[in-house]
Structure 1
């Protein structure tokens, strides 16, 4: 949420993220649903993004009340990841649900309530691109693996075999190997 709050003003200026704006001033009180498609073009808008491409669907359920807006996000689909074991590209399934609260008011909420977005009377829409981006990145697994050691179509079997050889010590040392490493190998 902190990422979204710090860059909220910047999203208003990015025309490519305009489709992720929800105009709430004309909506009646109650629940409303909005669907968004997340593709590579979406991730291209975020510099240094952990996720570079994917195909996800995001449903935002907006509950407009007198003093606040409650946003419930349900995001599902796949993102393209690199396996941390065999380095192969594979589609990582992502399913997450999150909630954000936006309150109407002129005074910014303090640091103790950082998860609440403040909407001024001059705001007429809320851009959810930053929230969607943040929720997808938080859902990325800490360790990305494409499967169970070569049992999926995405696994790079040659790389796994090479890693097994290196781990077992079967790989012959190269001629240009640094002799200082020999002392460390003895510790093993």
Structure 2
């Protein structure tokens, strides 16, 4: 968790207005999250902080690639991600109901850790069903595995048509 300290933004000394922060997201970042779906990646994150009297607005722009395992050929391939998100922090003495869109900051808070938000945005943006682009025609796609899958799929159809029980049922028509 020590490496995640670099993803903290101390807002107490910042003047009102816009401020920019840039972060590099790599394998070390993903290793900090124990059960991460994404293990490898190379992304750039730009955070624009807009400090106002009563709130802070963070605009995230994350782009790059993460390595994912293809659900068809099981090989790793680079998945392109382009993410734009916004998070609002409000200054308040009392706790406001838990809300995903607005996070409450009290007078004792001095910094905002954006590591969890960046990780969440990347994980949510990763496709649920990961499949290589242009299947079979890329250098990272496992053509041997795809050929085996195609043989199995076509073999099942042949076995189904050769089953004598189905032939007996067709005669009943």
Q: How high is the TM-score relative to the length of structure 1? A: 0.81
| Partners of 2:132 and 2:123 in 1: CA distance | 18
Q: Does 1:147 align with 2:137?
A: no
> What is the number of residues matched between the two proteins?
163
User: Gaps (5+ residues) in structure 1?
Assistant: 1-13, 174-181
1:120 equivalent to 2:106? Answer: yes
Q: CA RMSD in A?
A: 2.2
| Deviation readout 1:143-177 (Å, 9 max, x if unpaired) | 1111222011111000000000000017xx9xxxx
Output the CA distance in 2 between the equivalents of 1:141 and 1:114.
22
- Structure 1: 4+ residue segments shifted above 4 A: none
Where in structure 2 are the equivalents of 1:58-97 lying within 5 Å?
A: 58-97=45-84
- Offset at residue 115 of structure 1 (A): 1.9
- Name the counterpart of 2:170: none
List gaps (5 residues or longer) in structure 2.
168-173
When Rg is computed on C-alpha atoms for both structures, the one with the higher figure is: 2
User: Are residues 1:167 and 2:147 paired?
Assistant: no
Q: Give the whole-Å Cα distance in 1 for the aligned partners of 2:7 and 2:59.
A: 15
CA deviations on 1:13-71 (whole Å, 9 max, x unpaired) are x3221000001111111100000000111111111111111010000000000000000
Output the TM-score relative to the length of structure 2. 0.88
